Chain A
Amino acid sequence: MIMEIHTKMSNFPTDLRYAETHEWVRLEGDTATIGLSAFAVEQLTDLIVIDLAKPGSKVKTGGRLGEVESVKSVNDIYAPIAGEVLEVNAAVVADLSKLSNDPYGSGWLVKIKPDNAADVAAMMSADDYTKAVAGFDHF
Chain B
Amino acid sequence: MNTPKTTPLHEWHKAHQGRLVDFAGWSMPVQYHSIMVEHEAVRTKVGLFDVSHMGRLEFQGEQAMDLLQRATVNDVNLLGNNQIQYSLICDDLGGTIDDVLVYRMYSDRWAMVCNASNREAVLECLHKLNKYLARIDDTTEQTAMIAIQGPEALGLTQRKIDPSADQIKYYHFKDFLYQGHPSRLSRTGYTGEDGFEWILPAELAESAWSELVAEGAVPCGLGARDTLRLEAGMPLYGHELSTSIDPYSAGLGSFVKLGKGDFGGRLELERISTAPSRRRVGLILVDKRPARQGSIVMVDGKPVGEVTSGTFSPTLQKPIAMALIEWSIAWPPADGAVSVDIRGTVVAAEVVKLPFYRRK
Which of A7, A71, A74 interacts with B35 by CB under 8 Å?
A71
User: How distant is B5 from chain A, measured CB to nearest CB, in Å?
Assistant: 16
Does A8 lie within 8 Å of B311, measured CB to CB? no
User: How distant is B215 from chain A, measured CB to nearest CB, in Å?
Assistant: 25
A50's nearest neighbour on chain B, judged by CB, is B288
Inside 8 A of A69's CB, which chain B residues have their CB? Answer: 289-290
Does A72 lie within 8 Å of B30, measured CB to CB? yes
User: How distant is B138 from chain A, measured CB to nearest CB, in Å?
Assistant: 28
Given A71-B311, A71-B314, A72-B223, verify A46-B17 contact (CB < 8 Å).
no
Does B19 lie within 8 Å of A46, measured CB to CB? no
Whether B34 is near chain A, meaning CB under 8 Å from some CB there, is yes
User: How distant is A10 from chain B, measured CB to nearest CB, in Å?
Assistant: 14
Inside 8 A of B288's CB, which chain A residues have their CB? Answer: 48-49
In chain A, positions 1-23 with a C-beta closer than 8 Å to chain B are 4, 6-8
User: How distant is B343 from chain A, measured CB to nearest CB, in Å?
Assistant: 8
Does B290 lie within 8 Å of A45, measured CB to CB? no
A45's nearest neighbour on chain B, judged by CB, is B34
Interface size on A, residues (CB 8 A): 14
Does B36 lie within 8 Å of A4, measured CB to CB? no
Does A45 lie within 8 Å of B31, measured CB to CB? yes
Given A4-B19, A71-B223, A72-B223, verify A139-B35 contact (CB < 8 Å).
no
User: How distant is A9 from chain B, measured CB to nearest CB, in Å?
Assistant: 12
Which of B14, B20, B34, B289 interacts with A46 by CB under 8 Å?
B34
User: How distant is A105 from chain B, measured CB to nearest CB, in Å?
Assistant: 21
Does B227 lie within 8 Å of A71, measured CB to CB? yes
Does B31 lie within 8 Å of A48, measured CB to CB? no
* Distance, CA A49 to CA B17, complexed state (A): 25
Inside 8 A of A139's CB, which chain B residues have their CB? Answer: 14, 20
Inside 8 A of B14's CB, which chain A residues have their CB? Answer: 139
Instruction: Write the A75-113 contact mask toward B (1 if CB under 8 angstroms, else 0).
Output: 000000000000000000000000000000000000000
Inside 8 A of B343's CB, which chain A residues have their CB? Answer: 74
- Contacts A4-B19, A48-B288 given; 6 further ones with Cβ under 8 A? A6-B17, A8-B17, A45-B35, A46-B34, A71-B36, A74-B343
8 smallest CB-CB distances across A and B, nearest first, come from A49-B288, A71-B35, A48-B312, A46-B36, A46-B35, A45-B34, A71-B312, A72-B223
User: What would 25 A/B residue contacts be, using CB atoms closer than 8 Å?
Assistant: A4-B19, A6-B17, A45-B31, A45-B34, A45-B35, A45-B36, A46-B34, A46-B35, A46-B36, A48-B288, A48-B289, A48-B290, A48-B319, A49-B289, A69-B290, A70-B35, A71-B35, A71-B36, A71-B223, A71-B227, A71-B312, A71-B314, A72-B30, A72-B35, A72-B223
**Residues on A close to B: CB < 8 A?**
4, 6-8, 45-46, 48-49, 69-72, 74, 139
